[in-house]
């Protein structure tokens, strides 16, 4: 079985202090919520490594959720859909020259994983307000200050920020109940953005990114609904 790239869906979120959950021994995870693990208590119930990603159990009752201990800190990921026209990823390891006269040209891996890639999409505007959608705002604010003027003397400044971006890619959307969803998770830094505004072309943006702080991983979970 093979599927096309159109089955892949891309989502992003940016780090926000207000989305940090701090454990106290009574707080629990929320059903189906996605989390990034900032820190873990010594006796933590969190099932993955610090710096990794997981999805809370898809169960309604709080008794089935994960109790967060003192010392646990999670970032609650509230992803926004990035409507792509194209996306690419490159995974690579460096190499170390270990050649000698007994084995000329030999190399070994340096063990350092490098991830880079690109995302391409269109500028999307709200039909009613003509404002950018949230994803476009997040991306533009990586490079430019944003000033919102309500026209009546109120001005809201959003300084350019370098907050961590979390990239989630569902490789095989549209699965039936019981089938496996494959999520590619990677914290990223957006390094560049280019815009094209041709008179007869749609307004588009092209992004390049590299790996950020945290563990990139492939996350497999069954579809429950």
Residue 61: what pLDDT? Answer: 56
In the structure encoding, which two tokens stand for residue 51, read together?
């710096």
SS3 7: helix
Q: Can you tell me which residue has the tokens 């690419």? A: 88
In the structure encoding, which two tokens stand for residue 48, read together?
């993955």
Domains and CATH numbers, the chain: 5-14+80-222 (2.30.110)
**Average confidence (pLDDT) per 10 residues, the chain, 225 residues:** 91 94 93 94 94 87 82 95 94 94 93 95 90 90 94 94 93 91 95 93 94 94 85
Distance between CA atoms of 167 and 218, rounded to whole angstroms?
12
DSSP states along 20-63: EEE--SS-B--TT-EEEEEE--TT----S-TT-EEE--S-SSGG
pTM: 0.88
Residue 126: what pLDDT? Answer: 87
Measured CA angle at 95 (ends 90, 97), to 5 deg: 160
Residue 1: what pLDDT? Answer: 84
């Amino acid at each position: 079985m093979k599927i096309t790239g159109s089955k892949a869906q891309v989502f992003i979120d940016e780090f926000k202090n207000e989305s940090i959950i701090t454990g106290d021994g009574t707080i629990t995870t929320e059903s189906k919520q996605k989390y990034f693990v900032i820190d873990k208590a010594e006796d933590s119930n969190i099932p993955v490594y610090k710096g990794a990603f997981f999805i809370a159990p898809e169960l309604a009752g709080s008794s089935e959720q994960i109790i967060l201990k003192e010392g646990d800190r999670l970032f609650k990921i509230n992803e926004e859909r990035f409507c792509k026209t194209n996306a690419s990823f490159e995974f690579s390891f460096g190499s170390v020259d270990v050649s000698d006269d007994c084995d000329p040209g030999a190399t070994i891996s340096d063990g350092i994983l490098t991830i880079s890639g690109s995302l391409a999409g269109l500028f999307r505007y709200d039909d009613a307000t003509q404002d950018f959608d949230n994803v476009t705002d997040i991306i533009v604010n990586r490079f430019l200050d944003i000033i919102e003027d309500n026209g009546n003397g109120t001005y809201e400044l959003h300084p350019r920020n370098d907050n961590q971006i979390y990239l989630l890619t569902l490789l095989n959307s549209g699965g039936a109940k019981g089938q496996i969803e494959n999520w590619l998770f990677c914290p990223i830094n957006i390094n560049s953005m280019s815009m094209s505004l041709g008179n007869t072309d749609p307004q588009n943006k092209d992004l390049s990114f590299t790996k950020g702080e945290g563990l990139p991983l492939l996350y497999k979970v069954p579809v429950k609904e």
